[in-house]
Structure 1
Amino acid sequence: MNESEFNQKVDDTLFEVEEVLDDAETDLDFMNNGGVLTVICENQTQVIFTRQTPVKQLWLAARSGGFHFDFNGKTWVRDSDGALLNDVLTEIFSAQAGEKFSFDL
C-alpha cells in the first residue's frame, strides 16, 4: 500500500468510526483535526486515533493503553497480537463510554 492509499484508508476508517459514534445513546463529543480523531466520553475520558504515515499504522490511545494497528488488506489488526480493531474498539468504548458499539471497519 502506498502512502496515498494508506491515508485514504485511514480517512475512510475514521469516517466510519464517526458514523457509528453518531448513533450513540451516551453523550460523546468528537473532533477530527488533521487526521487525529479525538473522542471525549461522558466521563471525560478520551479515545484518540492518530495516523502514523511513516510506518503505515493507525495508533489508538485509550484509558487501557496505547495500541498500534496495521492494515492487512482486509481489516485493521493490532500488531502485538492480531486482535481486530473492531473488537478492540468495542471493548474500549464499552469500558469508557458504557455503551456497546458494533464496528465493521
Structure 2
Amino acid sequence: MEPAYVIITVLTLVANGAIAVADFARAPFVLANSAEVGVPLSWLPWLGALKAAGAIGLLLGLLGARPLGVAAAVGLVLFFLGAVAAHLTRRVYHNVAFPAGYLALAAASLGLALAVG
C-alpha cells in the first residue's frame, strides 16, 4: 500500500471523525458556523452521521474494502462541495477555508485511492 495514500486517508478520516464528534456534541463553534451559513440545528446529527460514515468508510477502505473506501471519499467530496457552496452562497468567507480544507483532504484521498486501486 502506498504511504501517501495511507497518510492522507488517515488524516482525512481522523479529521472527519473529529468534526463529526463536534457536530454530535454541538460544540459552540459548530453552532455558530451553522447559524452563519443557515444550517438548521436539527440537521447537525445527520451531518455528523454523514461525516462519521465517511470516516468509517475510509477506514474500511484502508483495511481492504477498497470500493467502500472510494465510495466514502466520493461522498465526502460531495458533502464538502456542498459545505463550500453554502459558505459562498451566504457570503461567509471568513471561515470557508475550513470546509475547503476538508474538501481538499477528501479529494486527495479519493485521487490516491483511485491511483493505488
Q: State the structure with more CA Rg.
A: 2
The structure showing larger relative contact order (alpha-carbon pairs under 8 Å, at least 6 residues apart) is 2
Give the TM-score of the pair, scaled to structure 2: 0.32
Structure 1 or 2: more strand by fraction:
1
Give the TM-score of the pair, scaled to structure 1: 0.35
Structure 1 or 2: more helix by fraction:
2
